[in-house]
Amino acid sequence: MKIEIRHVPPGPLGQIWAERVQDWAEEAPHYVQLYLDYREQYYKKICSKCTHAQQVRRKCSLLIPGMTERECRHIKYAFASKYRTVIRRRYESHPFMQRIRWNMELERRRREREQAARGNSG
């Protein structure tokens, strides 16, 4: 048995979906820059005062031989804590997540209509 995969141009809805995903992806550099700016400020305030024991506990990347880029578990948690709502909005704005929410809402309404119909007939 042989499986053949064909690439078919998307229809109008597929095209709209692709454009929405593309728009979402084009916003990504803003969030990356937000993280890089935060990281730079963090290095100045926190990393400069970090002792060797703290670097070990926080799993700082500078402890890896030949590594020049600073990164630790603490900075990721600090960024996620400070920008929790921004990150959540970004995640929830993805077209796929919106689609899931719409489908859940449609399903909820369908169930309500069915329950109302059963209640009226009984």
Distances (CA, A) of 51 to 22, 57, 68, 109: 43, 10, 17, 57
Give the domain ranges of the chain. 29-82, 85-122
Whole-angstrom Cα distance, residue 82 to residue 85?
A: 8
Residue scoring higher pLDDT (122 or 92): 92
Taking only the tens place, the pLDDT of each residue in 14-51 is 888 888 888 888 988 888 899 889 988 888 888 888 88
Q: Tokens at residue 68, please?
A: 């020049």
Length of the chain: 122
Residue 104 pLDDT level (bands cut at 50, 70, 90): very high
Q: How many Cα neighbours within 13 Å face the side chain of 83?
A: 20
43-80 pLDDT, tens digit per residue, is 888 888 888 898 888 888 878 888 877 788 888 888 88
* Residue 122: pLDDT over 70: no
List strand residue ranges (DSSP E) for 1-122, in order. none
Enter the tokens of residue 110.
């369908």
Q: What is the DSSP letter of 103?
A: H
Instruction: Report the amino acid identity of residue 110.
Output: R
Q: Which two tokens stand for residue 112?
A: 């309500």
Dihedral of CA 59/60/62/67: which sign?
Answer: positive
